[in-house]
Amino acid sequence: MSDILLSVQNLHAYYGKNHVLHGVDISVNKGETIGLMGRNGMGKSTLLKSIMGLGPLRTGTISFLGSKVTDLPPHEIMRNGIAYVPEGRGIFSTLSTLENLLMSSRIGCRGRHDWTLDGVLEIFPSLVNRLSHGGGQLSGGEQQMLSIGRALMTNPDLLILDEATEGLAPRVASDIWKTIDIVRDAGVAVIVVDKNLSALSAITNKIVILVKGELVFNGLGEKLINSRDLQLKLLGI
């Protein structure tokens, strides 16, 4: 069996008449960690949403573990083993922390059950004292932990994290990076969007960069770190 977990081929996406993604090809191997970068408005979130069927109109092919999922409704795509932590975290503020975790809980589709409530609370000990608090009362960092924990409760094979550390204090951000490390070590593939090149390249196998809806870079993080030219050209930093 091949090692390819997710394969996206020739993905085009449209918001009305706006052509946002121009034939993106991307593939993620089992257990692989990929950093997705690009300036604002280059199509990162659109790419992620298109993969999950939550975004705009799209054409192209999306396969998960070899089977085509392009035309499935979003929840069925996700049930194949994808979990999503959106930009802005998507916490249900009227549900308590505990309820946020319990509502998504299920056994993974290939019988995976690594992540239980106890398991999730073990990697996020700061949530233990917050279980009865409303999701809206948590700090940004706690919300991000909760959102990752909630995603893990679905026992995914692939975790998608949009803007993993945006708006978080450096110390909290470093906690999040450590968590992604733990998740990766547990054998879950991860796609992370973030603006921190050095942190991303430290934990990912490769980095891909979108510019105006096209994939313009697909390679090792070191290559970017060592080239000011590339950084300036592709990321504007």
Partner 1 sequence: MLGAYLAFSLSEQFGSFWIALPVGVTIAFSFGLLMEWILISRLYSRDHLYQVLLTYGLILVLEELRSLVWGDDVQTVRVPDILDSSIMLTDTLSYPIYRIWISVVCLAVAVGMYWMIQKTRIGMIVRARSEDRDMVQALGLNVRLVDRFVFAIGVALAAFAGMLAAPVSSVFPGMGNQVLIICFVVVVIGGIGSIKGAMLSALMIGLVDSFGKVVTLEILGLRVFPELSGMVVYFLMAAVLLIRPMGLFGRTHH
The verdict on 83 binding partner 1 (CB under 8 A) reads yes
Residue 180 in the binding site for partner 1 (CB under 8 A): no
Distance separating alpha carbons of residues 163 and 135, to the nearest angstrom: 19
Instruction: State the DSSP code for 95.
Output: S
How many chain residues are in contact with partner 1, going by CB under 8 A?
27
**Piece of the chain touching partner 1 by CB under 8 A; list 10-18, 123-131, 146-154, 189-197:** 146-154
Taking alpha carbons only, the member of 202, 193, 190 closest to residue 40 is: 193
Tokens 């990697």 -> residue: 123
- 38-72: string of b/e by CB count within 10 Å (b at 16+)? beeebbbbbbbbbbbbebeebebebbbbeeebbeb
Q: How far is the CB of 99 from partner 1 (least distance, A)?
A: 5
| Least distance (Å) between residue 143 CB and partner 1 | 13
DSSP state of 36: E
Tokens of 156: 């995914």
Residue 103 interacts with partner 1 (CB under 8 A): yes or no: yes
Which tokens in the block code for residue 52?
A: 């999950």
Positions in 53-82 near partner 1 (CB under 8 A): 54, 73-76, 78-79, 82
From the CB of 86, what's the least distance to partner 1, in Å?
A: 7
188: phi then psi, degrees, rounded to nearest 5: -90, 130
The distance of closest approach from Cβ of residue 188 to partner 1 in the complex, given in angstroms and rounded to an integer, is 15
For residue 49, how far is the Cα from the chain centroid? 10
99 sits near partner 1 (criterion: CB under 8 A): yes
Interface with partner 1, residue 174, by CB under 8 A: no
Q: How far is the CB of 54 from partner 1 (least distance, A)?
A: 5
For residue 13, give both structure tokens. 């996406």
Longest dimension (CA), the chain: 50
* One of 143, 154, 179, 201 touching partner 1 (CB under 8 A): 154
Which of 10, 18, 59, 94 touches partner 1 by CB under 8 A? Answer: 94
For position 102 contacting partner 1 by CB under 8 A, the verdict is yes
Instruction: Tell me the one-letter amino acid at 150.
Output: R
Is residue 110 close enough to count as binding partner 1 by CB under 8 A?
no
Q: Which residues bind partner 1 (CB under 8 A)?
A: 52, 54, 73-76, 78-79, 82-84, 86, 90, 92-95, 99-100, 102-106, 150-151, 154
